[in-house]
Amino acid sequence: MAAKKLFLQRKLGEENEGGAREERHLAPMMRALKAIHSVGTPESMAPEDLAKQRAAQELLGRLAAPMIVLKKWEPFQLKGMSAAWVRPDWPHDKGRVILYCHGGGYTSGNLGYSRPLASKLTNVTGWETLCFEYRLAPENPFPAAVDDARKVWDYLMYLGYGARDVVVAGDSAGGNLALVLCHQLKKAGRQLPGHLVLMSPWTDMTASGPSYTQRAELDPMITVDYVRAVREVYAGGQDLSSPFLSPLFGDFSGFPPTLIQVGSNEILYSDSRQLRDRMVEANVYCRLEEWSDMWHVFQMFPMRKAAQAMENIGNFLLNQ
């Protein structure tokens, strides 16, 4: 009994120590993420405030990147647009590829921010990942980002990938962009990607879901004011219920198998839940994972639940 008690005490101590290390790693990243999403009024889209948000997002990417095993990061210019390949340096399947769309409310985000999640996607699949810097609002409002996503999609087709060989992944506004890209491809009569992976996707710019009010006090990162501010500079004057802005309201028939991950404490929770329901109604295979007590795009962070979530993504893609 004494030995068992000592074992349990040591185990508890190790778990507490691990939790303390995790909290120390998380603290600066949480501060950076809070700075990105701390918009209180539309005036925070002023150039000086927007510059601070973009700097905070780039810092978040730099804080996360050293904690990820990454062998090959290859930036290049794609017809004037900055892009980068993440490539594993071990033998891998070169017939499959991931197109990753970064988040940032369509007003911030760059390759530095893209690097952690793009690298994690490559690590859990063994596939190459392509990320890109689409043009941002307010300097370049809708449809600039969508046009850039189409350009990158066409580039992959030019390289010889079949549409079904491509996984389109995105977080937050990048999840919105991934869905809008699929809606546009479908409208054009083109083939859709083989799979979708969406992390905390922003699917409803009308903010009509109940979680926008019900979970406002729980969400440590995003406010409704932030959502209103970024959508105004990105889509001001447009019909927010258009599926090219709010992909939730589009036709999902024929969409590829989709994995959605969302934190239970997000105001965007309804965006994921309602998307799953719409996809299932359209006979699309869609798996929704709700991660308890997690926040917006928690997968980026150096923590056990993030690692588990990324493993689930790998299993979803490799076992389909």
- Among residues 37, 266, 270, 272, the one annotated as catalytic is 266
Tokens of 198: 């969406």
Burial tier of 240 (Cβ tally within 10 Å: 0-12, 13-18, 19+): middle
Which helix H or strand E contains 275, and what residues bound it?
Answer: helix 269-281
Residue 71 one-letter amino acid:
K
- Among residues 102, 183, 195, 296, the one annotated as catalytic is 296
- Among residues 108, 114, 119, 172, the one annotated as catalytic is 172
Q: Is 172 a catalytic residue?
A: yes
Residue 252 near residue 298, CB atoms below 8 Å: no
CA 69 vs. chain centroid, Å, equals: 19
Tracing tokens 């891998």 back to the chain, one arrives at: 92
How many angstroms separate the Cα of 149 from the Cα of each of 83, 170, 237?
A: 11, 11, 22
Closest CA to 201 of 120, 259, 257: 259
CA distance 201 to 102: 11
Supply the residues annotated as catalytic.
Answer: 172, 266, 296
